[in-house]
Amino acid sequence: MQDILDEIAFDISGMTDRGQVADYIPELAAVDPSQFALSVALPSGEVFSAGCANQLFSIQSISKVFTLTMALGKLGDSLWHRVGREPSGDPFNSIVQLEHEHGKPRNPFINAGAIAVVDAIMMGHQPKELLAELIQFIRYLAHDNSITIDEGVALSELATGHRNSSLAHFMASFGQMEHDINCVLGAYYHQCAIAMNSEQLAKAGLFLVSQGTNAVTGKRIVSAQRARRINALMLMFGHYDGSGEFAYRVGLPGKSGVGGGILAIAPNKASIAVWSPG
């Protein structure tokens, strides 16, 4: 396994076209696009890594997997009154579908859906309380208490996120938001600004590998059915309008983030985290 990872990292290091970093979030635009990390966490507890697996990066939309898991825990299937579970067929920030469907987002992984999930799990609490709970949950999943939020990234997004503000106000205009929009968006941007390295991320995904139980810690996180369902949702629309492409080529449930990370789950085998900011 280590040999395979090393070979992949070596191949990548020889590539000159490393893509482009997201330039619409100032803090992310400054990240060096030539970096690369890859970690594979096994149910046995072994973690194999290659590249800069200790380098923290912004998990961005990958965090939506964790808030969705929290939301299903708090609300169960009643979450689906707030957000659908069909592919959107549109880019991550499209508003067209929202108008046709009266402010109910298609699924929890497009931005509008993820904002609705935050609103749904806030339940009258302050953003700080919600974020504390979320960080605690992710630390528990990854068995690592050092995970935190990168405040600079969160503020950077807050200042430039006109599209997300538009989506949130749009849902509010249909009476679909329960809390103050600025509070919800503040929490959402902080959630996206969670910083992890590829080892931590791979370990945090382990509960989706072994039917809802983190096989390393032995803790049950969700039921086997729920783990299977979260995997189905990741496979269906974990990559917005590139989900079909990813399912066709890779065939694994996965969730991408604009920070360059991807979490992929090979059921019963491994949790895989990749980071390539470009």
Q: Going residue by residue from 61 to 100, which x/- string records binding to its own copies, judged by CB under 8 A?
A: -----------------------xxxxxxx--xxxxxxxx
Which residue in 189, 258, 271, 274 is the catalytic one?
258
Q: Is 11 in the site for its own copies (CB under 8 A)?
A: no
Residue 64 among the catalytic residues: yes
Specify the residue, 5 or 177, whose C-beta has the smaller distance to its own copies. 177
CB 68 within 8 A of CB 62: no
Shortest distance (Å) from residue 155 CB to its own copies: 18
Sole residue written with tokens 């269906």? 236
Q: Is 61 annotated as a binding residue?
A: yes
Specify the residue, 115 or 216, whose C-beta has the smaller distance to its own copies. 115
The distance from CA 194 to its chain's CA centroid, rounded to whole angstroms, is 10
Q: Is 258 annotated as a binding residue?
A: yes
Q: Is 164 annotated as a binding residue?
A: yes
Rounded distance between C-alpha atoms, residue 137 and residue 135, angstroms = 5
Q: Is 201 in the site for its own copies (CB under 8 A)?
A: no
Which residue in 240, 255, 271, 274 is the catalytic one?
240
**How many chain residues interact with its own copies (CB under 8 A)?**
45
The gap between the terminal CA atoms of the chain, to the nearest Å, is 25
Residue 58 among the catalytic residues: no
How is residue 250 annotated by DSSP?
T
- Hey, what amino acid is at 275? W
Which residue in 39, 61, 88, 276 is the catalytic one?
61
Q: Is 46 annotated as a binding residue?
A: no
For residues 202-261, which are near its own copies according to CB under 8 A?
228-229, 231-233, 235-237, 241-245, 247-248, 251
Rounded distance between C-alpha atoms, residue 128 and residue 147, angstroms = 16
Segment near its own copies (CB under 8 A); pick from 122-130, 168-176, 258-266, 270-278: 168-176
Number of other CB atoms surrounding residue 51 within 10 Å: 22
- Reading the block at residue 4, the tokens are 């395979």
The distance from CA 26 to its chain's CA centroid, rounded to whole angstroms, is 20
- Reading the block at residue 207, the tokens are 């509960």
State the DSSP H helix or E strand holding residue 237, giving kind and residue range, or none if neither: helix 224-237
Which residue in 63, 94, 156, 188 is the catalytic one?
188
**Phi-psi category of residue 240: left, alpha or beta, with phi > 0 → left and psi -120 to 50 → alpha:** left
- Hey, what amino acid is at 270? A
Residue 128 among the catalytic residues: no
> Which of 198, 175, 189 lies closest to 36, judged by CA?
198
Q: Going residue by residue from 110 to 139, which x/- string records binding to its own copies, judged by CB under 8 A?
A: ------------------------------
Helices 162-173 & 111-122 angle (0-180, nearest 10): 60
> Which of 108, 115, 123 lies closest to 75, judged by CA?
123
Give binding residues as ranges: 61, 111, 157, 164, 188, 240, 258
Give binding residues for substrate as ranges: 61, 111, 157, 164, 188, 240, 258
Footprint of its own copies on this chain (CB under 8 A)?
Answer: 84-90, 93-100, 106-107, 162-163, 165-170, 172-173, 177, 181, 228-229, 231-233, 235-237, 241-245, 247-248, 251
Q: Annotated catalytic sites, by residue? A: 61, 64, 188, 240, 258
